[in-house]
Every structure is written in C-alpha cells, then in structure tokens.
Amino acid sequence: MNLESEKMTNAVRFMFVDDDEISIMALQRGVKQLEISNTVQLAMNGVEAIAILNEAMLSYGSLPPYVVVLDLNMPKMGGLEFLEKIRNNENFKNLLVFVLTTSDAPCDIASAYGYKVAGYIVKDDSRNSYKETIAMIKAYSELVVLPS
C-alpha cells in the first residue's frame, strides 16, 4: 500500500479546468481513447482548481506533480486570475500549466505567457484538436521531468 501510494504520489496527475461541459467531455474522450491511466481531476473554475490543489497538498504533505489544462473564460475565477494566484503562491508557483481556450486574442496570449505557461493552445474546429492536445500532454508528461 505504501509503495502503491508512493507510486500514486509520483505519477503525474492531470487537472482539466473548464466550465464547458462539452470541452470536458471531449478531453475525457481523448483520455479514454488514448488509454491514459493517470489520475484526471476536473474543476469547473479557478476556485475549484485551487481547492483541489490545496486538498492534494494536505493529503500528501507536498504538492504531487500536476499538469493543468486551463481554460481562460470561466465564472467565479477565470484562467488568468487563477494563474496570478498560483504564481504568487509559494507552493504552487512552479505548477505546469497549458492554456486551452477559444480565445485567440493577442492580449490573452501575451498575458498567459506572462504567467509562464508551458503552452497556449487555441481550440479550433478540427475534430481531433482535443485528442491531439491530450496526446501531446501525455507525451510531454512522460518525457519531461517535472518539478516535484
């Protein structure tokens, strides 16, 4: 169990932060189609995402490795606000974040990279965009050594 939990702790967790149900569904379909076994956690907005992160902190004493896929336009707390919060938080400042949003506004792109996001992906109309994104993130997380 200990070993199991150790393994669980070290495995990369995915967190999708998006208020759009369809987007979440699309991501989950992608996860399913690509047969990803990693833990996937879902948040409808920035507030829920921070709550999940805090909960993980409490459970494991320190933050386990996370890859966050973040939408920008959300109620309660938007993506940019969420980024501002975590970058100013000592525990979460190194969190790896991909932005996946419909907005291609240059100001959004510039702001997001200002918060040191790992990548900015615009949701486009091609059918496989979500699947490709998930595949890219999976490959990324398997290849890249994440901060722990």
Partner 1 sequence: MANSLKFNNDNSVVSRLRLTLGFIVLMLFASYLVGGYLLNDLKNSQQHAIENSVPALYQAHDFESELVAISELTSMLRGVSNVSAAISLRVKLLAHKNHLRDLIDASIIKSGADGLQDSVRSLESSSRRVVSSKLNMIWLDDSMRAKLVRLTEIREEFDGWLEPLLQLDEAPVASTLEAGVINLAAADFRTRGLQGQSSGRNQLLEISHSLSTLIEMIDTLATSRFVNNQKKTILSIKSQLTDIDQVLANVADLDTRRALAKMIVELRALTIGDKGIIESIVQYGEKNTQFRQNRRVLLDQISETSNKIDGIVFNTEQEVKSNTNKFNNTLSRIVLILGVFGLGVFGIIVLVKVNVVERQINSRMRRLTSAVADIAGGEHERKVDVSGGDEIGAMAGALEIFKENAKELQRSNTELEQFAYAASHDLKSPLRAIESLARWTLEDSGDELPSDAKDNLEKLLVRAHRLSQLQSDLLEYSKVGKPDESIEEVDFDRMVEDLAGILDPDQHFSIHVARAPIGVSTQIVPLRQILLNLITNAMKHHDLEFGTIEITADLVGDRLRISIEDDGPGIAIEYQERVFGLFEKLESNDKVEGSGLGLSMVKKMIERSNGSIAVVSDPSKHRGAKFIFDWPITESHLMSEKIAVGF
Instruction: Give the position of tokens 């790992």.
Output: 118
Rounded Cα gap, residues 120 and 100, in angstroms: 6
Q: How many residues bind partner 1 (CB under 8 A)?
A: 11
Closest approach of partner 1 to the CB of residue 97, in Å: 21
Under the binding rule (CB under 8 A), the answer on residue 127 touching partner 1 is: yes
Rounded Cα gap, residues 90 and 76, in angstroms: 23
Under the binding rule (CB under 8 A), the answer on residue 22 touching partner 1 is: yes
Q: Which of 26, 49, 56, 63 binds partner 1 (CB under 8 A)?
A: 26
DSSP string, 40-53: EEEESSHHHHHHHH
Closest approach of partner 1 to the CB of residue 123, in Å: 8
Closest approach of partner 1 to the CB of residue 42, in Å: 17
Phi, psi of 132 (to 5 degrees): -65, -40
3-class state of residue 63 by DSSP:
coil
Q: 46 vs 16, 79, 123, CA distance in Å?
A: 10, 6, 19
Q: Which of 35, 90, 125, 142 binds partner 1 (CB under 8 A)?
A: 125
Give me the 72-111 binding string for partner 1, x by CB under 8 A, dash otherwise.
Answer: ------------------------------x---------
Q: In the chain, which ranges are continuous DSSP H helix?
A: 2-10, 21-33, 46-60, 79-87, 106-114, 129-143
Cβ distance to partner 1 smaller for residue 89 or 103 = 103
Site for partner 1, rule CB under 8 A: 20-23, 25-26, 29, 102, 123, 125, 127
